[in-house]
Amino acid sequence: MKTTSSLASLPRRAPNLQTRAWHGDKCFFGFHHDLHVAEKDRGIGTRCSEKELVPMLRLTNADFVQTDAKGHTGYTSWFSKTPGASIGPGVVKDALKQWRAATAKLGLPLHAHYSGIWDIAAATRHPEWCVQSHDGKPGSTTWMGITHPTCGKMCPRSPYAEALMIPQLLEMIDRYGIDGFWIDGDLWGVEPCYCERCRKAFTERTGIAAPPREPADSNWAAWWNFTRESFEEYVTRYCEALHRHKPGVLVCSNWLQTFKNPGAPTVPTDWISGDNTPVWGVDSSRCEARFISTRGKPWDIMMWCFYFSQGWLGEAKWAPAMKPVQMLQQEAAVIVALGGNVQTCENPFGGVRTGQLIPWRMKRIGELARFVKRRRSLCQNTAAIPQVAVLHSEHHVRATPTGSNLMWNVDVAPVQGAVFNLLECHYGVDILDEWALLPRLPDFPVVVAPEQDCLSDGMVVALKEYVKNGGRLLVSGAKAFDRFGQEFLGVKAGKVVDTAIYHVPALDGTVPIFSAQWRLAEIATAKSLATIGATPLLGEQILAHPAATLNKVGKGAVAYIPCDIFRDFNASRYPLTRIFVHGVMRALAGRLDIEVKAPACVDVVLRRKGGKQIIHLVNRSSGIPNLPNSGVIDEIPSVGPATITLKLPGKPRKVRLAFEKTTIRWKYIAGHKGGTLRVDLPFVHIHAAVVVG
């Protein structure tokens, strides 16, 4: 992308990446066998002999394999000799031993799936290891339809890791030669613990006499962050223990260092991964992949190969079904386009609990593997072509926890709304936290800060300098005025109205925007791009307050939308809101070096590899209506046409379409300084890429 010399003058620093080894480029697609041995299971390990597993694993076409070692129940599927181990009552044959034999014969790395913080059996044996509530009551947990009289969650400061978890992981290395560990039930299972250990450490670290009990307490953010730090220290302990014992063994903590856990990835895991939602996985991956790809580590997203429309794990009405192949391919396309590896999770609920794999399902996974691997050469080891950076501030996240859980109580709605909106406008979007964005600010023509009310002071200063040197910044939210000020935004504070709906003009009408706070700003030096209305009427009951403004600052410009527009879009997805935002972006940034015109359901991903520019087009449409209780996607219809324009210094040597078969037309028009390439595609089915150079 074109970068002005003044932008290039901003200071740069390389992020302190904690990049570690992976299995090599050949490991691009993984198969995960999810079991979670339960008390009622019988015959565990009786149908997963080497003779049975080898042909099934060949059908999956997997490059690496993960299998069950210990699920959330705390039961192992193998005969652990670690003192205090809980072996599943129905384990007949050692499943882990058989999976090791089969993967060894196929020459595949074997990872073990192991539940960390969440261990119901350990909680039953050692209630003193459990997370304690503020009232000292033990609580309960439900898994697979069974309610257990303990919370099931381990305190990260308890003896659990050193007494049971780490010895059991080391045992698997020594007995089975396990190549890696995917630790489940970790980040998303963590909540504050009020045990004496945690109370004492919290007071010593913060100086606060006692931990708060409710999120409304002014000290809640400090308590939540203490919990986060305690968890990170626990993960660091088991990572370092495994690396000391066997250098080269790989360790991952499920969902750590992903979209809902921004900040410097200093915990020494080897790769990043998370298992996606069983439904609506495409939307989830659109944000996760754009964020995880900035972490500087090998990564994947684990897709569930099955879905369900009603209920959840253990509920009587929960009946999972295998996803159609095109649904799997569409979800995978989002991941691989951003350079990620892909895993798929197979969970044999429905009565197949002996370790037996289901042939027709393995064949379907094999089709997915072929789809993914056909894309490896152009997707693996690529870098972003910077265009629009959406800022996802770790300082904002850590100042605004909405509850107790480290993952589910992280509010990402404004960031998601901004990403979804900008993708529908066909911008190339990356999500970066402050750690990742600060050294790369000069690279991005446009930065969007969506309702990031608690940015660090350093980030605010850097963004102002970025704009003065030629950058283009869009900020939103009533409180953005408090962080950036009148002189920079070019508006006077005006009045703040709580829980209001105002209408903004878009296309031939207006669209209602709900915001917990609307700032009724007044123009100072900025230009008003639109005004708000009290009703949907055009030309009547128009208020003297801007819906968006544009202010020139130095060599750049800042646009301001004084409400929670991106939070509202995340909830509503109103097309006219997208059109309004697109108009603001056009006024702010003009035409960029790469432009795409296509149906709104087509996502754009801009990547480069070597001397090639790669414009990925991912079709998110569905041939079946998305009913309120069903996210199934069956036959995906092709959509189009799509037109791509690129500013280039000279005529490209080659332009081609990858991954899909259709005829493209391209033309290079020379200009005074370089020229413009235009590429026309009649349609996109699931995932196509235009390769230039």
Residue-wise pLDDT for 603-657, tens only, equals: 999 999 999 999 999 999 987 765 666 677 788 999 999 999 999 999 999 999 9
Distances (CA, A) of 217 to 213, 402, 456: 7, 11, 22
> What proportion of the chain, given as a percentage, has pLDDT over 70?
93
Mean pLDDT of 22-32: 95
Q: How confident is the model at residue 7, as a pLDDT?
A: 38
pLDDT band for position 119 (cuts 50, 70, 90)? very high
What pLDDT is recorded for position 635? 87
* pLDDT of the residue at 150: 76
Calculate the dihedral angle through the C-alpha atoms of 61, 66, 68, 72, rounding to the nearest 10 degrees: -130
Is the pLDDT confidence value at 481 over 90? yes
CB 383 within 8 A of CB 609: yes
Q: What are the tokens at 400?
A: 């605004």
Over residues 360-368, the mean pLDDT reads 97
Pick from 472, 467, 481, 484: nearest CA to 448: 472
Which of 533, 508, 537, 529 is CA-nearest to residue 518? 533
Residues whose CB is less than 8 angstroms from the CB of residue 89 and which lie 6 or more positions away in sequence, other chains included: 39, 41, 75
**Rounded Cα–Cα distance for residues 59 and 66 (Å):** 15
Distance of CA 228 to the CA centre of its chain: 18
CA contacts within 13 A on the Cβ side of 54:
9
Return the pLDDT at 320. 81
Residue 13 pLDDT: 38
- Average confidence (pLDDT) over 675-690: 98
Q: Which domains does the chain have, with CATH numbers?
A: 29-379 (3.20.20.80), 385-592 (3.40.50.880), 595-692 (2.60.40.1180)
Average pLDDT, the chain: 93
Q: Quick count: other Cβ atoms within 10 Å of Cβ 577?
A: 22
Q: What integer pLDDT is reported at residue 95 of this predicted model? A: 97
**Which residues neighbour 360 within 8 Å (Cβ) at sequence distance 6 or greater?**
none
Please give the Cα distance from 623 to 454 (Å, whole number). Answer: 42
Q: Which residue has the tokens 């199934």?
A: 632
**How is residue 432 annotated by DSSP?**
E
Both tokens of residue 356? Answer: 């037996």
Question: Of the given ranges (429-438, 579-588, 593-602, 665-674), which has the lowest mean pLDDT?
Answer: 665-674
Asked whether the predicted pLDDT for residue 587 surpasses 50, the reply is yes
Select the more confidently predicted residue: 359 or 627.
359
Using pLDDT thresholds of 50, 70 and 90, give the confidence band for residue 506: very high
Residue 303 has pLDDT above 90, yes or no: yes
Residues 6 or more apart from 625 whose CB is under 8 A from it?
Answer: none
For 533-559, write each residue's pLDDT tens digit. Answer: 999 999 899 999 999 999 999 999 999
Average pLDDT over residues 27-39: 95
Query: What pLDDT score does 189 carry?
Result: 92
Average pLDDT over residues 370-390: 98
User: What is the arithmetic mean of pLDDT over 171-191?
Assistant: 96
Asked whether the predicted pLDDT for residue 479 surpasses 70, the reply is: yes
Flag whether pLDDT at 348 surpasses 80. Answer: no
Chain segment 233-244, per-residue pLDDT in tens: 999 999 999 999
User: CA dist 547 to 341, 414, 459, 491, 522, Å?
Assistant: 41, 17, 25, 12, 10
| DSSP 8-state symbol, 637 | P
Q: How far apart are alpha carbons 272 and 251 in whole angstroms?
A: 9
- The pLDDT score that the predictor gives to residue 113 is 98
Give the per-residue pLDDT at 672.
84
What are phi and psi for residue 606, nearest 5 degrees?
-105, 120
Using pLDDT thresholds of 50, 70 and 90, give the confidence band for residue 137.
confident
CA 336 to chain centre: 13
Identify the DSSP state of 120: H
